[in-house]
Structure 1
């Protein structure tokens, strides 16, 4: 059994920003096994899980100079992996549309599904447009740009509590909006994120 030495995120960030590959290796050893299990639980493929995890760590390394001191690497990595899982699942779901010629697409594809997706996208855009401007900005930074609450607070020069409060109100509104239209909010985020 391999023993992995844990170290704090601020000290790790400091070392990463100095291009310390040993810190990166420790971070990888600390989080990669759990992250692989997490991804495999959704994708059911060891090769795909390993690829997603490698991509997450590559992005982390490439963005190491952009992180603020409040970064929680575990949260960043799992959020990044979750987004990659969703992209992968969407790709698997719609691969038939990309690989088929026109005649096969008409025979095997389901035009109703494409229409359903487009209608869902429109409904989502209408819901977001109804949010107050500041709340819409915070929601977009969180859900579309993938920033953490701390990063949003830092960027907008507001408190993290304010960001959390705005996100709570935004999600409540979105949930009620989609329930009124007979759609699950989880389904919307799964298909459109």
Structure 2
């Protein structure tokens, strides 16, 4: 095989391919990964054939190479998974930061627009929508009718909508 004899390589392949697949089956049930690993071992063997120096037996060498190749592929996959997880985490954190920034900006704009509402309209809107008082309570507190409260709230919504559209 060192001299490039393909028939010797093919014989080696036929002899050990299935045995190596069975051996790797004890480490993983992923049949495609097993086949890819064993094929990689034989490809490397062919490419390194001229400088290959087997100390003990070729069989031991092939089993050790198959095991190491499989473990290397799992380590590489684990690094890729960790890297993807890191990218995902970074993207999520950026999205949260951006979302928080947008939310803070909108709240600031809304507060500014509420401050621009006319006196009584602002007072009715704040008591009703921000403090959460019922319309009847707001009417009683401000000594106005419920219809007037509803009118101020309707007016406040219209003014806020215009204000927010012009500031965005």
TM norm structure 2 = 0.48
